[in-house]
């Protein structure tokens, strides 16, 4: 399970949600590194969200294996409604009350016209179960988004969705999940060793800053 490469909006700290944005130059390089890292993995299928940033990432990966990308609509990113395209400073200025409420209760409060994390979980998990059921004893790649990946990972880990803000999903990160008779488990989480040298190595360097701030409670003085 993979998060798409960096986009220009990721680098600017803009909330993307369902809006389409293209990979940045860094994102393109991340995607090439990703494809190289998984070149020897015997992938039988590559699934993707329909949004361009995920499709562009998945297409490079699929081409390396001679596969076509299978689009799953349920894998698209969380809808952020009226906030899409804004920076968090712009959201804080225009929607301070809704932002404060969402930070207090991200499971149940959504931007106007958007989704909660519970909404994402409800549409994503059935799609994942269908993909898994269709590939017994096979390895597949699923390219999606930060919120989508977190919802899946927390479910497999048996962790509450309230742990959402404490989990990272960097651009072009690889997660490895396995299903067998004992059930699902996470083997690798947010692996980014294949991206060394592409971004400065400091905390939060490649995680979308806007997404992180949308769910992280801020100190009262902010």
pLDDT tens, the chain, 222 aa long: 999 999 999 999 999 999 998 999 999 999 999 999 999 999 999 999 999 999 999 999 999 999 999 999 999 999 999 999 999 999 999 999 999 999 899 889 999 999 999 999 999 999 999 999 999 999 999 999 999 999 999 999 999 998 988 899 999 999 999 999 999 999 999 999 999 988 655 444 444 544 444 444 433 333
Give the pair of three-digit tokens for residue 49.
């969200």
The C-alpha angle with vertex 24 and arms to 18 and 25, in degrees rounded to 5, equals 165
**Would residue 178 show up in a list of annotated catalytic residues for this protein?**
no
CB atoms within 10 A of CB 108: 12
**Contact (CB, 8 A) for 75 and 49:** yes
| Domain boundaries, given as residue ranges, for the chain | 2-215
**Would residue 36 show up in a list of annotated catalytic residues for this protein?**
no
Task: Please tell me the distance from the alpha carbon of residue 34 to that of residue 81, in angstroms, as a whole number.
Answer: 30
Q: Which CATH architecture has domain 2-215?
A: 3-Layer(aba) Sandwich (3.40)
From 77, 84, 121, 207, active-site residue? 77
Report H helices in 65-116.
88-94, 96-104
């Amino acid at each position: 399970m993979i998060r798409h490469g960096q986009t220009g909006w990721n680098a600017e700290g803009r909330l993307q949600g369902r809006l389409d944005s293209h990979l940045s130059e860094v994102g393109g390089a991340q995607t090439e590194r990703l494809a190289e890292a998984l070149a020897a993995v015997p992938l039988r299928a590559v699934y993707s969200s329909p949004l361009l940033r995920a499709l562009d990432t998945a297409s490079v990966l699929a081409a390396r294996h001679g596969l076509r990308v299978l689009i799953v609509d349920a894998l698209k990113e969380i809808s952020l409604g009226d906030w899409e395209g804004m920076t968090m400073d712009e959201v804080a200025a225009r929607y301070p009350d809704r932002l404060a409420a969402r930070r207090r209760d991200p499971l149940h409060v959504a931007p106007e016209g958007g989704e909660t994390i519970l909404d994402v979980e409800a549409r994503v998990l059935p799609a994942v179960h269908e993909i898994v059921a269709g590939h017994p004893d096979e390895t597949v790649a699923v390219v999606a988004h930060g919120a989508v990946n977190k919802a899946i990972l927390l479910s497999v880990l048996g962790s509450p969705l309230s742990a959402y803000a404490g989990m990272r999903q960097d651009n072009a990160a690889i997660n490895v999940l396995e299903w067998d008779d004992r059930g699902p488990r996470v083997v690798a989480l947010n692996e980014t060793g294949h991206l060394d040298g592409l971004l400065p190595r400091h905390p939060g360097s490649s995680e979308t800053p806007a997404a992180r701030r949308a769910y992280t409670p801020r100190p009262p003085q902010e």
